[in-house]
Structure 1
Amino acid sequence: MRVLFSCVPAIGHAYPLLPLARAFARRGDHVAFLTSAGMAGVLDGFPLLPAGPMPDALFAEAAARTGQDAAAEPTPQSVSAFFGEVRLDASADDAIEAARDWSPDLIVAELTDTVGPLVAAVLGTPLATLSFGPGIPAEFRGAIAANIAPYFTARGVEAPATLPAGRWVLDLCPDILGPVGIPDGMTRLPLRPEAHRGADGAVTPAFPPAGGGRPRVLVTFGSHFGDPEIVRDLLSTLRDGVDADFVGTALPGADPALTDSAVADPAPAGPGGEPAPAVSGGDVAGAGNGGGPAAGGVRLVPFQPMANLLAGDIAAVVTHGGAGTVLGALSLGLPLVIVPQGADQFVQAAAVSAAGCGVATAPGRPDPEQLRAAVRTVLTDPSIAAAAADVRKQIDAMPAPGEVAATLAAAL
């Protein structure tokens, strides 16, 4: 069988597809990805059918058309333009041609991908949509569907009335975090989420077990919002007033001088107001206690598979609230502090707060004491720990990727 995965060209949209892609590959099926050529390095070696530009170009064009930033201040207009017309104008024709040549038996798209559904409709290929969180609000899904409808009708195929589209919804969201809106006529197939793993699904702990008897907290703002200076500021804030060790992650491709280092006290800004120079060097403060930071010490490390980070004896996660980060942490029963920055992170924050498995702060740059209090709460409140454990139990009971791959194959 030939299975084509289609996604928005961004790490947070591609990574949730990889466990199922690997499961199909283990069955002996042929697997490929349909997305921008710039994604080749993060697709675990799967063949790539290139179509369209990377997000920087898409965001710029969406802002030019709408006057809005679809990532930082999402509105139905800006989001539908970004995921819909802008991406389809740049990708649709190349994607259809490449997919027709590859001849898939099944297309699997993630929820915000509009290229995969269009290709599936034009080729008459069965489509499954992977929904990677509590769901995008209905007004956004409806706006995207309305935006892309002309691209379907122009090619003589029926447009989806809303999203998700296709025959199946592959639902990564456990019930406790709230239902995903599923249109009539679609079949829901729960799919167990997992923290992103390295090549071939391997997990290698990012650092030794924590030392000093304190909990270790991961601070990660994902692959788009995790500017090293922002994360360093958060780490410096948390070091004062929270009895824990902290490890933060930077953006993919961040300057190595900004990572793999202990974080010192903030230095004064330069004469022009530029950020203070980063501390460099590979030594971790307090390395003599088994590799964990000393009291009050923190560390900023390069971007890497989240499963590797969570294997390093983590007690809680402070995050922007990306769906992959949230579900990855909860798959291990880890409580969360969510500091939403944009995109769908407000949805994740509300779901986590309602489920009691974490605390959400105000969006943007958090008040320092509010952030410290939130971290202290998730580390000490037994009800939050119990709720996170309940979410993990629900996730553990969801079908594994291999089971879902077999179910889809049997249905074709």
Structure 2
Amino acid sequence: MRAAVEAGHAVALATSAGVQDAVGPELASEVEFLAAGAMPMEFSEDAARRTGADPFHPGPELIGEIFGGSRVDLGGADTISLGREWAPDLIVTETFDAIGPMVAADLGIPWHQVGIGPATPAVITEIERAAASRYRNAGLNPVEPRSYIDPCPPQMQDPEWSSRVPVLPLRTQAHRRPHDMAFELPAFADPAKPTVLVTLGTIFSDPDVLDTTVGAMAGHEVNVIATVGSSLRNPAAGDDGSRPSRRPDGVEVHYVPFVPLGQLLDRADLVVGAGGSGTVLGALAHGFPMVLWPQGADQPINAARAAAAGAAITVDSGDEIFLALRRVLGEDTFRDRAQAVAAENDARPSPADVVKEITQ
């Protein structure tokens, strides 16, 4: 969106009204916010009620019902109406979104799909299956996107995957705001030690999992920055509501609330996390090796691909983190592979290049 604005295009974002406060700081002032549809928890719970499945550990079928079914039911008509009013010439939508393609079909305009991590064809098939009946009910005929915009360096992409449409590579980057606010972090007593960023992302920030992960730092000569995600209070302020957060003996830990990932990575040397696509791709863009303990959603896929690229070790439990971290700290191979991915990523087209391509 920033690249499109800088190129002189009119840009709007259509999404749930409830996220406007959260995304407001991310948007250029020229981007118009079009509020439509339900919040993620609402449409996820709706799909879970209909299927009886667990929304926090969904398989492909439930993901299809969440994004191709409930989300469309609770926001498709409103977004189509906004689309008719705003009258775009082009739509860009991420892979899990089934509403953007409906708006494109309604208006008879081209659309492009952008990935958020390694391709997940089984999931996309389920989303399309669930959305098909919604297309029929709306009297719409879906059309293929003009391209698939892929932010995933080739070392991270499934070698068996092939796209039905042309692929436009995109340089991935860690999340930053247009004008990052100052991020105050006390200096570590021994800044010569490697700094580990421990982050479970914004959704799977279970306090027990976070405590276990931070606890695994004990016995290592490291400093730690740990994020508390959006589902926890800030333990640094002593308000987690239950108990003090883990601070292993001999390890200095700084807990932080939500901060754009790029700013955190500027202070780190390696990452221990759950394997969300933003974390994995952002860390690789910096050339950082990882230890990944997947918790749900697409995290097992991202972690497996990072491990296959040789840039990460994937673990199945908190008990395995200690030895995995020892290997990542002690063996140069993981950092070398991560830096090779970063070099490949640096050579890929920029967002400005992709905007120019799709608008031509």
Question: Residue 316 and residue 131 in structure 1: after superposition, are their counterparts in 2 closer, same or farther (change >3 A)?
Answer: same
Corresponding residue of 1:343: 297
Amino acid of the residue matched to residue 390 of structure 1?
A: A
Contact 1:169/1:182 (CA < 8 Å) preserved in 2?
no
Deviations 1:324-365 (A, max 9, x none): 110001000000111101111111111011110010001xxx
Which consecutive unaligned segments of at least 5 residues does structure 1 have? 1-20, 264-274, 286-292
Helix, strand or coil for the counterpart of 2:138?
Answer: coil
Aligned runs of 1:247-326 on 2, under 5 Å?
Answer: 247-252=225-230, 254-256=232-234, 258-259=235-236, 276-278=242-244, 295-312=250-267, 314-326=268-280
Q: Which residue of 59, 68, 71 corresponds with 1:75?
A: 59
Matched position secondary structure for 1:29: coil
SS of residue paired to 1:325: helix
**Alpha-carbon displacement from aligned partner over 1:108-145 (angstroms, at most 9, x marks no partner):** 10010111111111111210111121111x32221211
Aligned to 1:289: none
1:239 counterpart SS class? coil
Counterpart in the other structure of 2:103: 119
The answer on whether the counterparts of 1:126 and 1:166 sit within 8 Å (CA) in structure 2 is yes
Check the 8 A contact 1:206/1:311 in 2, yes or no: no
- Return closer, same or farther for 1:178/1:329 CA change in 2, 3 Å cut-off: same
Question: Aligned partners of 1:88 and 1:60: how far apart in 2?
Answer: 14
C-alpha RMSD of the superposition: 2.4
Q: What does residue range 2-401 of structure 1 map to in structure 2 within 5 Å?
A: 21-43=1-23, 44-45=26-27, 46-72=31-57, 74-136=58-120, 138-159=121-142, 165-179=144-158, 181-184=161-164, 186-198=165-177, 200=178, 202=180, 204=182, 207=185, 211-212=189-190, 213-235=192-214, 237-252=215-230, 254-256=232-234, 258-259=235-236, 276-278=242-244, 295-312=250-267, 314-362=268-316, 366-368=317-319, 370-401=320-351
* 1:260 and 1:301 in contact (8 A); partners too: no
Is 1:405 paired with 2:355? Answer: yes
Deviation of the 1:279 alpha carbon: 6.0
- Looking at structure 1, the residues matched to 49 and 282 of structure 2 have their Cα atoms a distance apart, in angstroms, of 35
1:61-102: CA deviations, max 9, x gaps? 111011112332x22221111111101110010000011101
Q: Report Cα offsets for 1:167-224 as digits up to 9, x if no partner.
A: 011100011112484543x2211111111002x1547555366552210000111111
Q: Could you give the per-residue CA deviations for residues 27-81 of structure 1, whole angstroms, max 9, x where no partner exists?
A: 1211111110011123324322111111121121111011112332x22221111
| CA–CA distance in structure 2, aligned partners of residues 106 and 210 of structure 1 | 48
Q: Distance in 1 between matches of 2:351 and 2:179?
A: 12
CA positional deviation for 1:155: 2.7
Q: How many Å apart are 1:311 and its aligned residue?
A: 1.1
